[in-house]
Structure 1
């Protein structure tokens, strides 16, 4: 089910803006936020709002080091995302930033996030599109070359399950009866790597004969879990 807002705001402020809107609908309520992928994501800045932030991610050395350095998390759980403790219908908002492209069994993990959301809750998912030229190269390059390109930090794994695409997430939401409230595409990764990378990705897209796009590298989707308990939800 899709209900697109237009025009979307720039992704840099989308998450806090949507949390503020959600909080205004529930005055005097302390928000519970799940930061899924906390070992790679930036800190959540919601100083004006009372909230409890819980992190969850795989238990890998670089992810643990980053998680432990974060000052915004009230607690965190690291482990296998298919089994790590995640109570049902507890969280108001789930943020999954650059997570689903780097994990296996992404649909199963997404199902667990949806189950952890309260009815009417929001899930903001941001990922690199496997059907983008950058996503294609990222999952095809050998590890040593990825490590060289991501020289500023340890690169995350490049798994890119089929749900890690704009079309894949639309399909996922339709099959689970979830509402897509907003979609946004951006070229942040391409811009970060510079002009030559942008040219190279356009060449890759041309060679892909329409199967790949150089128009964007990231996708951000705001998903709402229906409040109706009779709706087909997890």
Structure 2
């Protein structure tokens, strides 16, 4: 595994910068990009970069409604992500924003996305950390209660509430183990705070709840971060253990 750059928080638009660097490596040819979790948003600044963008997500009413306002996708698929039409070595970049914590069979979905990456391609991940106070509260609350609280706590216009599954891979330890087993190289690893309830009308109350969980857990579930951002590269080496 390559040396990992650890920063306390995402600084600037890291994903857009890495995509531009990849385009330079590819001598300026068109990049094929997969947006996994396109219904929630997760737009990337791709100005001055020639791309073909495909979006995939689960087929949920709230996601279908959000997709109606997206004009930046050249193709899209809504349905079971285990059955998404992803051909091997089709994409230069896979961008998965806040998807892994809300889907079941997460490793299988990840395997399909990695398989769809070309050698040397980038897997760009943002996800909510199950091993944080915010992630603990999100996955602990019953679905009906989350639906009740969502319009009161989430910023206006935020897509949701979406399922809160949080399988083991939706954590720093889990995703690092996954990459190690698949021969993927984590180049950059960032922590941040971006939970919707921490930015909504009752952000102070949400912060108090997270601090209480952190204190009760002996800080094993920190309240100071809830997001993980990763830049992961699929090796060029054909003898590496790849999907």
**How would you bin the TM-score normalised by the shorter chain?**
over 0.9
CA distance in 2, matches of 1:45, 1:88: 26
Bigger drift between 4-13 and 205-214 goes to 4-13
TM-score (norm 2): 0.91
- Contact kept, 8 Å, 1:92 with 1:121, in 2: the verdict is yes
Compute the displacement of 1:24 (Å): 1.4
The residue number in structure 1 matching 2:18 is 18
CA distance in 2, matches of 1:58, 1:11: 30
Over aligned residue pairs, what C-alpha RMSD do you find?
Answer: 1.7
The structure 1 residue matched to 2:231, chosen from 215, 222, 227, is 222
Compute the displacement of 1:33 (Å): 0.2
CA distance in 1, matches of 2:49, 2:138: 37
CA distance in 1, matches of 2:143, 2:84: 27
1:68-217 correspondence to structure 2 within 5 Å: 68-151=68-151, 152=156, 153-189=159-195, 191-193=198-200, 194-217=203-226
Name the SS of the counterpart of 2:27 in structure 1. coil
Name the SS of the counterpart of 1:188 in structure 2. coil
The runs of 5 or more residues in structure 2 that have no matched partner are none
Q: What is the total number of aligned residue pairs between the two structures?
A: 234
Q: 1:146-195 deviations in whole A, cap 9, x for unaligned?
A: 12332134311000010000110011001111100000110122641423
Bigger drift between 62-71 and 109-118 goes to 62-71
CA distance in 2, matches of 1:90, 1:40: 23
The residue number in structure 1 matching 2:50 is 50
- Contact kept, 8 Å, 1:11 with 1:220, in 2: the verdict is no
Compute the displacement of 1:11 (Å): 5.4
CA distance in 1, matches of 2:3, 2:241: 17
CA distance in 2, matches of 1:42, 1:176: 25
Name the SS of the counterpart of 2:54 in structure 1. strand
**Residues 162 and 11 of structure 1: CA distance in aligned 2, closer, same or farther (over 3 Å):** farther
Compute the displacement of 1:2 (Å): 4.3
Compute the displacement of 1:85 (Å): 0.9
CA distance in 2, matches of 1:154, 1:169: 24
Bigger drift between 129-138 and 4-13 goes to 4-13
CA distance in 2, matches of 1:137, 1:6: 26
CA distance in 2, matches of 1:97, 1:136: 19
- Contact kept, 8 Å, 1:43 with 1:71, in 2: the verdict is no
CA distance in 2, matches of 1:89, 1:220: 23
**Residues 208 and 2 of structure 1: CA distance in aligned 2, closer, same or farther (over 3 Å):** farther
The runs of 5 or more residues in structure 1 that have no matched partner are none
